[in-house]
Chain A
Amino acid sequence: MIGRVSEVVAGVIVGRPSLGFVIVATIALLWLVLAMAAYLVVFRAYHRGRREYRSRRLAAYQPAIELVLMEEPYPAVVAALTPRLAGDGDCVQELVTENMRHLSGPPFETLRRASVELGFVDDNLRALRSWDRHRRGHAMERLGLLRCEEAVPGLVRALAREDLDLKLVAMRALAAIGDPSALPAIHAAAAALPPGLLPRLASLMLEFGAPGRDAVRELMNRRAADFPQVSIPALLKELAQDWESP
C-alpha cells in the first residue's frame, strides 16, 4: 500500500510541482511529530522505571532517619547511611537533603557530619565542574541544602560563569548557606543581571540577614533607576527593619 501511495505522490510531484511540494512538506512535518512522540514514549518509560527504582532504594535507607531522631549514637547513623549498592549514593544524598530541609539543631548537625564523612560534600564539589548541566545544577542545589561553607568559593565561581538559570540556582544555594563572604561576589554578579531580575537578587540577599540588608542598600543606591517600581515599597519596608526600636 505504501508503494501505491508513493507512486501516486510521485505522479503528483511530476505533474504539479507545487502540490507535490506541499505533500512532501506535510509528510516531513508528520515524521517530525512522530519522532517527538517516540522521544516522549521512551522518555516517559525511562523516567518511570528510574523513579520506581529510586523509591525502592530510598525506602531501604529510611530507617537511618529514624536513628537520627531517636538520637542513636553517631556511628550507627553513619553505618545506616552508607551506600550499599552502586548508584545508591545519589539516593542517600536525596534522602538526607530532603530531611535536612525540615530539621535544625542536633539532628541537622548529625546529618551534616554524616554527609561530610560519607564524601557527599566532596562529590558535589567535584560535580560543580561537570560537563553535564544537570549535574552541576543538582550539585549546587544540594550544596545549598547541606549548608556547607566549603562550597562557597566553588559556588561563587559558578555564579560568574554559568548562564542565567544556573546563576539563580547558585544564588539560592549561597543564600541558603548564608555565609556573608559571598555577598561581594553576588553584588558583582548583579552588574551582569538584567534589571528585571534585580528584585529577585535583592530578595536572596536579604536571606543573609543584616549584612545582606547592607548589600541591598548599596545595590539600590548604585542602580536606583533599574529597580522596577513595583518592587520598591516592599524592599524599603524590609530594609527599615534595621531602624526599628531595639
Chain B
Amino acid sequence: MSARKKVLVFEDNASIQTLLKFFFQKRGVETRIEGDGTEAVPLVLDYHPDLILMDYIMPGKDGVETVMDLRRAGVSTPIVMLTSKAFPADRARAQQAGVTAYLTKPFDPTQLEAAVKPYLAA
C-alpha cells in the first residue's frame, strides 16, 4: 500500500487555489498550497512533495527564479509550471531553469491530469 502522494502548489490567485485543491482532492492526493515562492527551498526540503506546481508570475519571488533556486539546492522533484499565456521566449527560459512540464491557464482538468499523471503514478 503506497503512501498518499503529496503535491506542493505555488499559486497566489484564490480562485485557482480552490480549483487545484478540489482537483487533487478528487484524486486522493494530499495538497499543500503556498502563495509565495520566497520560502520555497526550506519548504520543499521539509515537505518532500512528489510533484510541484508553480505559477509563472507570483508576488515576491518569480516562478522561474524559484525553480532555479530549487534546482540549485539539489531538488529533483518534477516541476510543472502554470502560466497564463505561452510566450515562446519565456518558455525557453523556464525550461532552461529546469521546469519539467509547462501548462497554460485556463486550466483544463483533463490536460492537467494528463500532465501530472506520470509523476503521481504509484
Name A residues whose Cβ lies closer than 8 Å to a Cβ of B.
65-66, 69-71, 98-99, 101-108
Contacts and interface: CB of A to CB of B under 8 A. Distances in A.
Contacts of A101: 15, 106
Interface size class of B (residues with CB under 8 A): 10 to 19
A65 B109 contact: no
Contact of B15 (A70, A102, A106, A108): A102
Contacts, number: 42
Interface in B1-51: 13, 15-16, 18-19, 22-23, 25-26
B95 interface: no
Interface in B72-122: 105-111
Which 8 residue pairs of A and B lie closest in terms of their CB atoms, listed nearest first? A105-B108, A69-B22, A104-B106, A104-B108, A70-B26, A105-B110, A102-B106, A102-B16
A101 B14 CA distance: 13
A104 B108 CA distance: 5
Nearest to B15: A102
Q: Is the interface of B mostly helix, strand, loop or mixed?
A: helix
Nearest to B20: A69
Nearest to A69: B22
A69 B23 contact: yes
Nearest to B108: A105
11 contacts: A65-B22, A66-B22, A69-B22, A69-B109, A102-B107, A103-B106, A103-B108, A104-B107, A104-B108, A106-B109, A108-B106
A175 to B, nearest CB: 14
A105 B107 CA distance: 8
A244 B19 CA distance: 37
Contacts of A98: 15
A105 B113 CA distance: 12
Nearest to B26: A70
A105 B15 CA distance: 17
A70 B28 CA distance: 11
**Most chain A CB inside 10 Å of its own CB: which residue of B25, B106, B108, B110:** B106
Contact of A69 (B13, B19, B106, B111): B19
Nearest to B18: A65
Given A99-B15, A101-B15, A102-B15, A70 B22 contact: yes
Given A69-B109, A108-B106, A103 B26 contact: no
